[in-house]
Chain A
Amino acid sequence: MHENIQKRDISERPRKRKLKRFLSPALLILPLLVFIISFFVVPMLYILYLSFIDVKEGLNTEGAVYSIQNYVNFFKDPYYLSSLWLTIKISIYTVIVCLVLGYPVALTMAKSSVKVRSFITLLVVSPLLISVVVRNFGWYLLLLPNGTINKVLMGLGIIDSPLKLLFSEVGVVIGLASAYLPFMILAIATSLYNIDPSLEKASSILGASPLRTFRTVTLPLSFPGIVAGTTLVFSVSMSAYVTPTLMGGAAVPVLPVVTYDRIMVLFQWTYGSAMSYILLITTLVIVFIYTKIFEKSKYGEVFK
């Protein structure tokens, strides 16, 4: 009897303390939580709900039939499947371009003094200060058949007739890559900053040339940054709308553009909803598999 009471006393106190410890951070993130739930979770759930309704047009859900017909239709139609594949392909190209252009910049930032580093950071993020539309029109002017780039290339005699840079996959990749390059650079640079400089010294004194040191020490240790940067750029490229519209137009029908047309032009809300979810799930699955491959590789230790 007596023992029981004592036990309860002891067990209750830590629980209260735990509650307190949990409550204060919960209060701090409450505004964000409210925001996310009302403007993200609720609409997403509503769209999910819509995607399972089989109506031809509009938002009239009265007497609606619930089915997975929208999803079935998507996968039966080669046009949509090729649009999905195009979206994935363009996103992968964008990631590769960002990685190839971004890694050297990040490496330079990691090797320079604090002063130079902050200057480069400023340069890298400065395009983000300009609206996407304005930036895209800049590219537009450069990439036109009689735009600057074609003129220069023809003037130098490298090409005979203008390249089709605008309204092509190339144009979209250029637009997307230039827009998302800063994210890639900053993600990689952050992970490079975290590498203890004496590791490179240790590698060198053990006999590794600078190139070998990069390959066996610096590069593997920057994998977390590479993975963060590539998944980020991939995800935003998959859902990009403005750039593909402006730079690709009808010639590059990526899934977000096609979905937009479905909903806003043809008013096929429910079909469009299903398409959004297919895009979302595809992105998540690819990102998931990609990160798992890295974590399961022999370099998995650097992710812990």
Chain B
Amino acid sequence: MQKEIDVDIQGISLSYGKTKVLKEIDLQIEQGELLTLLGPSGCGKSTTLNIIAGFLEQDAGQLFIKGKKMNNVPSYKRDLGMVFQTYSLFPHMTVYDNLAFGLKLRKVGKEAMDEKIERSLKLVRMNGLEDRYPKELSGGQRQRVAIARALVVEPTLLLLDEPLSNLDAKLRHELRTEIKRMQNEVGVTTVFVTHDQDEALSMSDRIVIMNDGKIEQIGTPTEIYQNPKTEFVFRFIGSSTKMEGILTEIRDASYVVKLANELSLEVSKDNYLSDAAPSINEPINLYIRPEQCFFLNETNQNKLDVVLPATVSQMNYLGASWEVEVQVIGADQKISLVTQEVNEHVKVGSEVEVGWKLECMKISKSAI
């Protein structure tokens, strides 16, 4: 069944003076989904959100919300809900009055208002604190109230601009789950801006990866993580070890790349991330994710395509796992791997064999 489109962004561009901040963004947001805008600082996430909210006007392109064209519609007529990074609760109003603010503007009667406010506060687990002033709340509580204030007016769209970035790690994790739960319960279409990839991967129905004013890829968290379409997406999400090589042969469905230590690897064309095809003798980057590298043992030795002898150079204990860095013997190449268990022979300085499957490798044209 085709889902309804709540927000339709068509070729939106915006410049500040000569700098193009958004370059022809196209994006369709489906009804009821939680969509995350993810990207490095300054890539235009907040700008996109502010255009949807009506705080900025695009230079070119169209914006439709619920099928209605939004050009020249001021933010106070768009019927949206928004949660800001700095909570932005009205300091001179109690929690109750903060929530009542939008309801009064919508001419909701006293009884209905009380009921709506109670329901919203219950949703964010803040009932009983109606008479407090924002100053008398903790950061996490303030953000909960801010979410309740945005939701109580039953907006067509909920916008959140890095709502968790002012909170400590534990609270951030807790509220992340809560937002997901609330969004599910209410079913409101939500646009969430973050530069924290864990947040994006764990919460989103779909993720939009942005870079330098352009959309790099749109997809579900698993698609984004497992099938990155561009080198930028691959490198931005998760971590990876980079190796350098030269393209020596182009086959029907694969490229053959020779590494600095004379090792030749054949990688499928499906795993090639750049747009333009490479030519022979061109420098090529190869990537492998740490969790796809393994220490060689009896059970996996037949499954790994590439095996290299190496020395352990660093070990970091992360609680649930180990992060190990090894130095490939005979080459100036370090490889990171993440593993649940290490046997007692693995210590800094000990010789090991590490390996991975060729299908896990990604390759791209070297930029230089």
Contacts and interface: CB of A to CB of B under 8 A. Distances in A.
Interface residues of A, number: 23
Contacts of A301: 91-93, 133, 135
Given A201-B75, A207-B76, A220 B105 contact: no
B233 interface: no
A292 interface: no
A199 B90 contact: yes
A196 B86 contact: yes
A304 B135 CA distance: 10
A207 B92 contact: no
A201 B55 contact: yes
A208 B79 CA distance: 10
B117 interface: no
B149 interface: yes
Majority secondary structure, B binding face: loop
A203 B101 contact: yes
A38 interface: no
Interface string B109-152: 00000000000000000000000010100000000000001100
B153 interface: yes
A299 B133 CA distance: 12
Interface in A200-220: 201-210, 212-213, 216-217, 220
A213 B105 CA distance: 11
A191 to B, nearest CB: 12
Contact of A196 (B75, B80, B88): B88
Contacts of B91: 221, 301-302
B92 A205 contact: no
Interface in B66-98: 74-82, 84-86, 88-93
Contacts of B278: none
Nearest to A201: B55
B133 A206 contact: no
Contact of B102 (A198, A199, A207, A209): A207
Contacts of B267: none
Contacts of A203: 90, 101
Contacts of A196: 86, 88
Interface string A93-110: 000000000000000000
B106 interface: yes
Contact of B149 (A198, A206, A220): A206
12 contacts: A196-B86, A199-B88, A201-B82, A201-B84, A204-B75, A204-B76, A205-B81, A206-B102, A206-B149, A208-B101, A208-B105, A301-B133
